Structure 1
Amino acid sequence: MAEAVTAERLRIARELHDVVAHSIGIIAIQAGVGSRVIQTRPAEAREALRAIETTSRETLSGLRRTLVSLRRAERGATASEPSPLAPSPGLADVERLAAATADAGVRVDVRRGGEQRPVPTDIDLSAYRIVQESLTNVVRHAATERCRVAIDYRDGELLVEVVDDGRGTTGDGSAHGFGIIGMRERVGLVGGRLTAGPRPEGGFRVAARLPLPAPAPATVAVVAR
């Protein structure tokens, strides 16, 4: 029981970090933009305020999901019980995440490859959070205006990669910030592998390999003669 409680608390800590760190970073950047241009470029300032409002609402929704999870854990609810809130984000939301990151000043090129198919919920959420945390680090630390996200559906695994051409560190000169620790925990819990570090040619790369079940075989209809 104690191990289960500890595991649930770690999961909630990861969710809180991923939701709050990304959103506060975006809000801080947009607030700075708005304050600098409010007199000279009011239309741009309005766009910054719009981005702040959108990000704030999404953050509140994510925090509510996390608080509901915490209350459910406290009363011993099972994972199979339906949640009253909207489902957690997943790979289908990556383009929306890229648009929010672009609003913060970093253009994100998203590429999807392989045979796209539904993936298990835990893999879907983990992949999304890895992209989210990686983009947060690019916005906060990389000092670049562009990065790339690749999502490849392969036989038996999903490859998620985020690459930038910036400074090549997470901000403290290492790959041991809490965000990357959280990514490693997420990947480990689903039996995957994560690499994160500076690239020899410059910039930073995060790559996660997450296990996928084999796609269901195609069925062939048999017509009676």
Structure 2
Amino acid sequence: MPEHAPYLHPPTLPLAQRTPQAAWTALAWGAVTAVALLLYATMAGGTGTVVVVGEETQGAPLAAMTVAMATPLRWAWRRPGPVLAVVLAEVATATALALRTAQTWPVLLAAGLLVGLITATRARRAGLAAAAACLAVLETALQVDLFRESGWGRVLAPGFLGLTASVALAVLFSWLAGTSVRQRGEYARALHAQAAVQAVTAERLRIARELHDMVAHGIGVIAIQAGAGRRVIDSEPERARTALASIETTSRETLGGLRRMLDLLRQAEPDRTHSGHPAPFTGLADLDRLVASTTDAGVEVEVRRHGKQRPLPTAVDRSAFRIVQESVTNVVRHAGTRHCSVSIEYRPAELRITVVDDGQGPSAPAGESGYGIRGMRERVALLDGRFTAGPRPGGGFRVAAFLPLPAEGTDAR
């Protein structure tokens, strides 16, 4: 996997953000139409006082009333609280006009659905208030309807007590469903925020590794050459001039690398390459340049390659080069030796990199405390490989990295 890839997949967008506005508008008007038609059917076939005048009152006037009652649902998605208040007012008005709940049940159903919507999209307190208000209005309307028909005998009948409990359970179920949706949304947002923080942290670590690997080698070579030039400037001017030339070349290369990295970081479009400073690919193909600059610093590097060489995935190739570069840099700066060996072994399932020196001390300050070894370990871990670094029993220091490779014949990309 690429070393800058986040560890968590970003969650999918909520449905409201993935559905076009026109689709929501059509859905809203569809709901209004369905509720209006259901209201017309139930109220036209009922026995309430408003609709028993005659068939002529069940045409346009009744249709206009049902459409007026259903129209507020058009704004339910954006303003569910006010729409619920209007719907509950309609239920209370219908009860005052002696309409039976059997005639207005589509409005009661819409009120329950609005409770779920408010609970899912608003604060927890708003959901509780909506559920309490809805339960109070619906139960009152039901009990008034039952009492008006047959008094307390009908209200307290076992079957109608079950109906009362069913209404309460329906409101409770709507509230629980809305709570579940809200909690899932909160979890998705928390997951998305965690993924964003993790991606930023991973990118910061990647930039830190690149800067360290780029600068540490150049500065190490410059420091060694400056010290050598200072010691021989009077006795061997020619060697001093050679050291100064190496310092100039190394500093220009390091400065150019820093400029290229800054150009990439400043680009608004990451896929575009700055025309003024094309960023060269850094991989094992650049080992010869690394060996030459290290030799100029006074440390001879012997590179041995084993196995059948083949194209490597970009992440593996770059990480392999950076591991060799950091290991050699540590030899130059800390090992106190003039020789080290680099072994690169191509195996069917992995790339093995070994850097060994015969110095008198560790190739990094305090062993594991340096950023270089930490960065190498992070690079290998990102590729699901193995890494070891430590003193050798016979003296010197050894760095070994094992990077997994795709099977031979697989596209290296």
Q: TM-score, normalised by structure 1?
A: 0.89
Whether 2:316 is the aligned partner of 1:115: answer no
Q: What does residue 178 of structure 1 align with?
A: 371
Q: C-alpha separation between the residues in 2 aligned to 1:12 and 1:37?
A: 38
Whether 2:253 is the aligned partner of 1:58: answer yes
Q: What does residue 13 of structure 1 align with?
A: 208
Q: What does residue 220 of structure 1 align with?
A: none
Q: Does the 8 A contact of 1:161 with 1:205 survive in 2? A: yes
Name which of structure 1's ranges 163-172 and 88-97 shifts more when overlaid on structure 2: 163-172
- Partner residue of 1:188 out of 373, 381, 385: 381
Unaligned ranges ≥5, structure 1: 218-225
Larger Rg: 2
Kindly provide the CA deviation profile for residues 153-172 of structure 1, in whole angstroms up to 9, marking residues without a partner as x.
11111111100011241453
Q: TM-score, normalised by structure 2?
A: 0.49
Name which of structure 1's ranges 165-174 and 108-117 shifts more when overlaid on structure 2: 165-174
- Partner residue of 1:83 out of 273, 276, 280: 273
Whether 2:329 is the aligned partner of 1:146: answer no
Q: What does residue 394 of structure 2 align with?
A: 201
> Match of 1:9, SS?
helix
Partner amino acid for 2:341? Answer: R
Higher relative helix content: 2
> Match of 2:312, SS?
coil
Q: Does the 8 A contact of 1:168 with 1:199 survive in 2? A: no
Q: C-alpha separation between the residues in 1 aligned to 2:357 and 2:316?
A: 23
Q: What does residue 239 of structure 2 align with?
A: 44
> Match of 1:175, SS?
helix
Q: C-alpha separation between the residues in 1 aligned to 2:317 and 2:327?
A: 16
Q: Does the 8 A contact of 2:221 with 2:294 survive in 1? A: yes
Q: What does residue 156 of structure 1 align with?
A: 349
Q: Does the 8 A contact of 1:34 with 1:48 survive in 2? A: yes
Query: Kindly tell me: are residues 82 and 112 of structure 1, through their superposed partners in 2, closer, same or farther at Cα, counting changes over 3 Å?
Result: farther
Partner amino acid for 2:393? Answer: P
| Higher-RCO chain (CA-CA 8 Å, sequence separation at least 6) | 1
Query: Kindly tell me: are residues 40 and 168 of structure 1, through their superposed partners in 2, closer, same or farther at Cα, counting changes over 3 Å?
Result: closer
Cα displacement (A) at 1:82? 4.1
Q: What does residue 224 of structure 2 align with?
A: 29
Kindly provide the CA deviation profile for residues 96-153 of structure 1, in whole angstroms up to 9, marking residues without a partner as x.
1111111111111111111111111111110111011101110111111100001111
Kindly provide the CA deviation profile for residues 26-59 of structure 1, in whole angstroms up to 9, marking residues without a partner as x.
1011111112212221221121112111111211
Q: What does residue 106 of structure 1 align with?
A: 299
Name which of structure 1's ranges 81-90 and 102-111 shifts more when overlaid on structure 2: 81-90
Q: Does the 8 A contact of 1:170 with 1:177 survive in 2? A: no
- Partner residue of 2:290 out of 68, 82, 97: 97
Q: What does residue 68 of structure 1 align with?
A: 263
Higher relative strand content: 1
Two-structure CA RMSD over aligned residues (Å): 1.6
Q: C-alpha separation between the residues in 1 aligned to 2:349 and 2:291?
A: 26
Q: Number of matched residues?
A: 212
